A and B are shown apart, each in its own frame.
Chain A
Amino acid sequence: EDKVVQSPLSLVVHEGDTVTLNCSYEVTNFRSLLWYKQEKKAPTFLFMLTSSGIEKKSGRLSSILDKKELFSILNITATQTGDSAVYLCAARTGPYNYGQNFVFGPGTRLSVLP
């Protein structure tokens, strides 16, 4: 059974701290790893990673994938209260020429205190 695990499940930090969120996966026909941020409503897309070792960066957020060890990390530097959210990791799977699925982890709930 395809599985995505995230840690920690919950994290409380103060503004200015740096955080690292972890995601590991065990899926068949892995194609890519995606990170989403969910505040009050729908998850919004952050990153999609397909190749090992290539860091994706957007402002204070960055992410990297290790396809050999089957994990990804999401880093947030100089955290702000607006970073408070649930961060979801998803593995996209499926045979290349037929079908696709997105298997989500349970999420990490990040709370940034002022």
Chain B
Amino acid sequence: DAGVIQSPRHEVTEMGQEVTLRCKPISGHDYLFWYRQTMMRGLELLIYFNNNVPIDDSGMPEDRFSAKMPNASFSTLKIQPSEPRDSAVYFCASSPGQGRIEKLFFGSGTQLSVL
């Protein structure tokens, strides 16, 4: 298996621009998570999906952030408009789910810099 695949690996953009991060989870995994990591706040959960349905989005900072999972093999995290404080590493992770080996498998992350 190729693992969790994220794109792009790096994104540099200017304040006010729209940013879209992409994720392909491991095939057969029921759960997909979006995390943000900064030095100050560590790994923070933004949102997670179960079978493509958003379950908990209480970690999404504000309305500028949105996430979708149109099918079992693809998810996006969108920031519009982006701000410098959004600069962080964004990780996507997937998990098999109930009754199976329930641990997180992480993608390589997207390093986002908003100038």
Contacts and interface: CB of A to CB of B under 8 A. Distances in A.
A48 interface: yes
Majority DSSP secondary structure for residues of B touching A: strand
A102 interface: yes
A103 B107 contact: no
Nearest to A107: B42
Majority DSSP secondary structure for residues of A touching B: strand
Interface in B36-90: 42-43, 45, 48, 50, 55-56
Interface string A36-63: 1000011111001000000000000000
B104 A102 contact: yes
A99 B33 contact: no
Interface residues of B, number: 24
Contacts of A99: 50, 55-56
Contacts of A104: 35, 42-43, 45
Contacts of B56: 99, 101
Contact of B104 (A90, A96, A107): A90
Interface of A: 31-32, 34, 36, 41-45, 48, 88, 90, 92, 96-97, 99-107
Please give me the 5 A-B residue pairs with the lowest Cβ-Cβ distance, nearest first.
A42-B106, A104-B43, A106-B42, A99-B55, A42-B108
